[in-house]
Amino acid sequence: MDKCKQNIILFDLDGTLTDSMEGVIRSVQYMQEKKGMKVWDFEDLRFIVGPPLFESFTKELAMAPEEAEEATAIFRERYSTIGLFENEVFPGIVEMLEELKKKGKRMAVATSKKENLAVRILEHFDIAKYMEVIGGDAREIGRDTKAKVIDYVLETMGAEKEDVIMVGDRKFDIIGAHALGIPCIAVEWGYGDRAEFEAHDADYIVATTEDVANLF
């Protein structure tokens, strides 16, 4: 496999740096219960981890936009206080970040999670220190897709697209990066799978954190 020559690496958060599934799904169940909806089983809600939450509520749960906004607010009641920390850093992540830092790489986060929540998570697990920028969803100012988040991070860093690569675990990371002409490394330890990555033309597919570090 050819080495990646890019000097700037953007990381997704959920399913890439941390395993946030429990907190996200429990908070969706909380929302469903509070709204008087049928509370789905944990396993049946696995699909909701990774994509933008508003998109999942409108497309997968068939909510109207106004209802999805209300549901998102209810979700955050629990997530911002409890669910946020029902979470853990994947094994090998810190070592990977250390290795990339030693290689002189500039790193940032581009996530569909609300930016303030992403900052709290990364600071809680002491990995914010590796990131030059932490960019997240800001729907209120129109930053509501993965591509827009990535574009915001690039602009903030003063980065040229030719010098940037994305690392993520779902098709949304690939689609968002490719929309801006940026390649994407898809990782198999998260919530996506090889079939999804191949269907969306991931530029690289890797199994371990060591594989990511060794690409550079």
Active site residues: 12
- β-pair partners for 10: 108, 166
Would you say 136 and 38 are in contact if contact means Cβ atoms under 8 Å apart?
A: no
Whole-number Å distance between alpha carbons of 105 and 69: 38
| Closest to 216 (Cα-Cα) out of 159, 160, 165 | 165
Question: What is the C-alpha separation between 162 and 8, in angstroms, rounded?
Answer: 9
Paired residues of 138 in beta bridges: 143
| Residue pointed to by tokens 């709290």 | 120
Measured distance CA(39)–CA(160) in Å, rounded: 45
Handedness of CA 118, 179, 198, 160 (dihedral sign): negative
Show the tokens assigned to 101.
Answer: 């830092």
